[in-house]
Copies of this chain bind each other. A is one copy, B any other.
């Protein structure tokens, strides 16, 4: 797989929290061709644990991307028709400025000295990339969860530039429950002695902490009814009751989640998880001038997608968001999907949301 392209930006980025980010990189991938007038671009915003490898389309021998079945030639987001762009999120890892990127001056990884970023900062960083690429219009901005929050802010802050927004698994503002969940997830990472206050670069990353965090997260994105249907109380052959070897099938599944997360702690920087989950906490589209109320131009049309039984982003909150968008003048529709998976359905069962996107984008 070829690495993402990287734009090194000299002009400082003024962050929401007051810090100035100097000499910052932003990593991105694209598919399809940009029209001569720069008017056929689609921006895909990735979620917490994804990156800009959206699809392998057009690159042979490459592993599938996280939205392989949605983005590609003839697919819901058609790369024969659109120039599709995805940037690694600011504050993340994998090439964009974040805790694992070198701090200008020292050249050493920022670690937890990297300033706290917000969703608005992520969007601002993307505008710089778009300007560089000569993109003047976005036919669509689309994303789920953290990506959906970015898509919503694109619609509100850059209404004149965006034709349409698809925001999946989102709400007006992160709930108390969501804040509590991420607080516990961050504790799990920070409590790993290998975390070393964020200065673990060059050594082993806090894999156990990330593994535990992923198990904590699973308890909240996987619908209890699905756990019951899929695993129930079925036991493993050879499991012991003493609590260390998986006795039940569902424990075996968790063991796999934990092992993959521990192995992936090198791929997704744990410090980025600390930073990005905090950005999710801070997200509030209802926050006076910074949110919907501050929009100065007619809002683009919106499709809001919720998943039934998603505890953090329930359909009633998707509806509330849709009403708020309409109240602000947007054409907005709300659809609720009810797949096997509650939160994360857009990643794990992409077909239904793909159909909604295709219909929304139109011919």
Q: Contact between B241 and A184 (Cβ–Cβ < 8 Å)?
A: no
Q: Contact between B242 and A281 (Cβ–Cβ < 8 Å)?
A: no
The one of B209, B241, B274 that contacts A116, using a Cβ cutoff of 8 Å: B241
Interface bits A233-276 vs B (CB < 8 Å: 1, else 0): 10000000111100110110010001000000000000000110
Q: Contact between B227 and A208 (Cβ–Cβ < 8 Å)?
A: no
Which residue of chain B lies nearest to A118 when distances are taken between CB atoms in the complex? Answer: B241
Interface centre among A175, A233, A244 (most CB of B within 10 A): A233
Copies held by the complex:
2
Residues of B within 8 Å of A179, CB to CB, are 233, 248, 250-251
Residues of B within 8 Å of A250, CB to CB, are 176, 179-180, 183
A284 within 8 A of B: yes
Interface bits A121-139 vs B (CB < 8 Å: 1, else 0): 0000000000000000000
Residues of B within 8 Å of A216, CB to CB, are 184, 216, 219
Q: Contact between B278 and A241 (Cβ–Cβ < 8 Å)?
A: yes
Residues of B within 8 Å of A247, CB to CB, are 281
Residues of B within 8 Å of A176, CB to CB, are 224, 227-228, 230-233, 248, 250
Q: Contact between B219 and A254 (Cβ–Cβ < 8 Å)?
A: no
A174 within 8 A of B: yes
Interface bits A170-200 vs B (CB < 8 Å: 1, else 0): 0001111101110110111011110000000
Residues of B within 8 Å of A282, CB to CB, are 241
Q: Contact between B215 and A184 (Cβ–Cβ < 8 Å)?
A: yes
Residues of B within 8 Å of A258, CB to CB, are 187
A7 within 8 A of B: no
Q: CA A258 – CA B180 in complex, angstroms?
A: 12
A311 within 8 A of B: yes
Residues of B within 8 Å of A116, CB to CB, are 241-243
Q: Contact between B228 and A208 (Cβ–Cβ < 8 Å)?
A: no
Q: Contact between A219 and B187 (Cβ–Cβ < 8 Å)?
A: no
A218 within 8 A of B: yes
Q: Contact between B219 and A184 (Cβ–Cβ < 8 Å)?
A: yes
Interface bits A53-67 vs B (CB < 8 Å: 1, else 0): 000000000000000
Residues of B within 8 Å of A209, CB to CB, are 191
Interface centre among A188, A193, A258, A284 (most CB of B within 10 A): A188
A159 within 8 A of B: no
Q: Contact between A174 and B233 (Cβ–Cβ < 8 Å)?
A: yes
A48, chain B: closest CB distance, angstroms: 14
Q: CA A358 – CA B278 in complex, angstroms?
A: 47
Add 9 more A-B contacts to A233-B284, A242-B278 (CB < 8 A): A176-B232, A176-B233, A180-B251, A187-B212, A187-B215, A190-B244, A191-B209, A219-B220, A243-B275
| A–B pairs, 13, beta carbons within 8 Å | A116-B241, A175-B228, A176-B233, A177-B228, A179-B248, A179-B250, A183-B251, A184-B212, A187-B212, A187-B258, A191-B209, A233-B284, A241-B282
Q: What are the 4 A-B residue pairs with the smallest beta carbon separation, nearest first?
A: A177-B224, A176-B227, A116-B241, A176-B231
